[in-house]
Structure 1
Amino acid sequence: MEFRSARQAIMQLLRTVAPADLPALLEWMRTTRDFDEFTQDNNDIMLKNIAEDLRNCLPLETMLSSEHLALQKIQQQPEPTVHVDAFLYDEDFIDSLCEEGKMSRNYCMVCGSHQTAPLGFISHSFSLMELKFIYHHVLPDLSGKVLVDVGSRLGTVLYGGYLYSSALQLYGVELNGDFCQLQEMVIKKYQFTDRIKVLHADICTQGSLLQNADVIIMNNVFEYFLDEAEQARAWEYISHNVRKQGSLLVTVPSLEDSLSSLQINIQLSPWVEEGRTQAGEGKRERDRGSQAGSALTG
């Protein structure tokens, strides 16, 4: 059926719906994910294939034994909290795992009773929808630009940038060698090597890269992986080196939240001009919420 006939058929069908039910039907059409299979493009499919490859290489919680501090900090949360990577496991995938008994959304407040409460979920990756939102709505045209992902972990920001933007070069800086190997595996398999480069390094050794970057993305980058003194050192280094006029920072949590608990003297107003946006689906709860902060260097 060609477009004009299909449109007429849909309009005719809507006219047969009971008036009292029409608002509910239209709301369902606006919000349902049942149409995803008809709206996905090749880039979405490729990212989902990458997610499947990574799921096959990682444990369900997507945390490595080498991430001692992160594991400890998750265990120290005031309420039981689990790490569920938003890129690898969307809401539908989590539902299916819960149905299979491989995951739960709740924990028992009194062992053996029916008193339960929701588990806290955190993620160190953006979901597919968040990546699309960032590249399609948060960031400007990146043609000829250099993007740096600080703490690139699984590389999701890099893959999203390759597929959803025209960035000239995408750099991932990752301290954990195991994650660097995973990123290299994906980059080679999907032939992203012409525009993506992963550096196994401490960001505090990458002054030149930061100085020349047009976009710097930092998603839950330090809080779970460095102690407070190391966090302060990293932020001081970044604030001294990210000075390129008009460069853009996208941070989760916002810069204010990231710096508020640290003994650090970074004055934001002379350095950046703030801009905020919601980068998220509103479904998955992050450790500080799904609020992303963006800032333009002055």
Structure 2
Amino acid sequence: MEFPSARRAVMQLLGTVAPADLPALIQWMRTTRDFDEFTRDNNDIILKNIAEDLRSCLPLETMLSSEHLALQKIQQQPEPTVHVDAFLYDEDFIDSLCEEGKMSRNYCVVCGSHQTAPLGFISHSFSLMELKFIYHHVLPDLSGKVLVDVGSRLGTVLYGGFLYSSALQLYGVELNGDFCQLQEMIIKKYQFTDRIKVLHADICSQGPLLQNADVVIMNNVFEYFLDEAGQARAWEYISHNVKKQGALLVTVPSVEEALSRLQIKIQLSPWVEEVPLNYDAYPEKDIDRDVLEQIHLYKVL
């Protein structure tokens, strides 16, 4: 049905509604999320399809046996914590898994009792909401720009950059070969090869790439995957190589928080300045503002 015919059909249908119920119906039409499936951007649909492809290749916790240190650090958290990849599993998906008994949001404080407490959830990927916030509201127009994702993991930042930005080139640097293979599979399937490149490498070997980058993205990139000495070394390397004046650094958590855990002396004021973000700019409903406020933007001086 074409638009003019569809509009007439809707108006005719509204004409059949009891006058007393019409205001409630119109209010529902203005506020309901039931139409989301019909209005979702095509790029959102592509990313949802990518998430489905990746879910079929990975265990529920989205952690690989080769991630020894990350698994160990999750187990060492003060409260029981599980890894739930925010790109693969949104809140609705988690709810459905809980209903099916495949996942729980709580753990038993005293075995056999009714005392429960919320499980801690961590993710090493941006959610769809976070990707859209970054590319639509945090970063400027990226036409002709080079973006580097440090620790690209599943490649979500790269796919989002391909679909939501005009970046000239998107580079992912990933130390884990298994994740590099997954990214290459997606890049080939969705024909992203002209603008996305994945490097199986230590970021500390990529000086020229970092020096040429216009945008560097770092999402929870070192804490769970390197010991403290390795984290300090990586931050030192990045601070010495991300020097292009005006280049942008997007981090979760803030650089200050990441460095506060380490025995390291990096002076931020001569290197970068933080750019305030408008967390209210994201127009969609049901946003998790606390999650968005973990995203920080810095400009290289």
**Retained in 1: the 8 A contact 2:14–2:22?**
no
Distance 1:265 1:131 in 2: 31
1:34 Cα offset (Å) = 2.5
TM-score between both structures, scaled by the size of structure 2: 0.89
Q: Deviations over 1:220-242 (max 9, x none)?
A: 00000001111000000000000
* Letter aligned with residue 38 of structure 1: F
**Structure 1 residues 144 and 110, CA, compared in 2 at 3 Å: closer, same or farther?**
same
Is it true that 1:54 corresponds to 2:54 in the alignment?
Answer: yes
1:187-214: CA deviations, max 9, x gaps?
0111100000000000000000000000
Number of residues paired by the alignment? 292
Structure 2 unpaired stretches of 5+: none
Matched, 1:64 2:90: no
| Residue of structure 2 in register with 1:293 after alignment | 296
Aligned residue runs from structure 1 range 38-117, under 5 A: 38-117=38-117
Give the aligned CA root-mean-square deviation in angstroms: 2.6
What's the CA shift for 1:6?
7.9
**Higher alpha-carbon deviation: 230-239 or 106-115:** 106-115
1:1-298 to 2 correspondences below 5 Å: 2=4, 16=20, 29-30=30-31, 33-277=33-277, 278=279, 282-283=287-288, 291-298=294-301
Q: Distance in 1 between matches of 2:230 and 2:37?
A: 45
Contact 1:121 1:285 in 2 (8 A): no
User: Equivalents in 2 of 1:213, 1:73: separation in Å?
Assistant: 31
**Distance verdict in 2 for CA 1:8–1:134, change over 3 Å:** farther
Matches of 2:139 and 2:10, distance apart in 1: 34
Secondary structure of the residue that 2:240 maps to in structure 1?
A: helix
Identity percentage over the alignment? 80
One-letter identity of the residue aligned with 1:65: S
Deviates more, 1:175-184 or 1:277-286: 277-286
State whether residues 247 and 299 of structure 2, in contact with CA within 8 Å, keep that contact through their aligned partners in structure 1. Answer: yes
Taking the aligned partners of 1:155 and 1:108, their CA distance within structure 2 comes to 35
Q: CA deviation at 1:276?
A: 3.8
Residues 73 and 224, structure 1, Cα contact 8 Å, conserved in 2 = yes
Maintained 8 Å contact 1:252/1:290: no
AA matched with 1:92: D
The one-letter amino acid of 2:91's match is: E
Structure 1, unpaired ranges of 5+: none
Residue type of the partner of 1:104?
S
In 1: Cα distance, 2:148 partner to 2:241 partner: 13
| Structure-1 separation of matches of 2:106 and 2:13 | 41
**DSSP-derived class of the 1:98 partner:** helix
Change (3 A) 1:11 1:266: farther
- Alignment check: 8 A CA contact 1:252 1:293 kept: yes
The runs of at least 4 aligned residues of structure 1 exceeding 3 Å deviation read: 1-19, 276-286
Cα distance change, pair 130–9 in 1 and its aligned pair in 2 (3 A)? farther
Change (3 A) 1:221 1:6: farther
Aligned mates of 1:205, 1:265 — CA distance in 2: 21
Scaled by the length of structure 1, the TM-score of the pair is 0.90
1:282 CA drift (Å): 4.9
DSSP 3-state at the match of 2:74: helix
> After superposition, what is the alpha-carbon deviation per residue over 1:150-170, rounded to whole angstroms, capped at 9, x for unaligned?
000000000000011110000
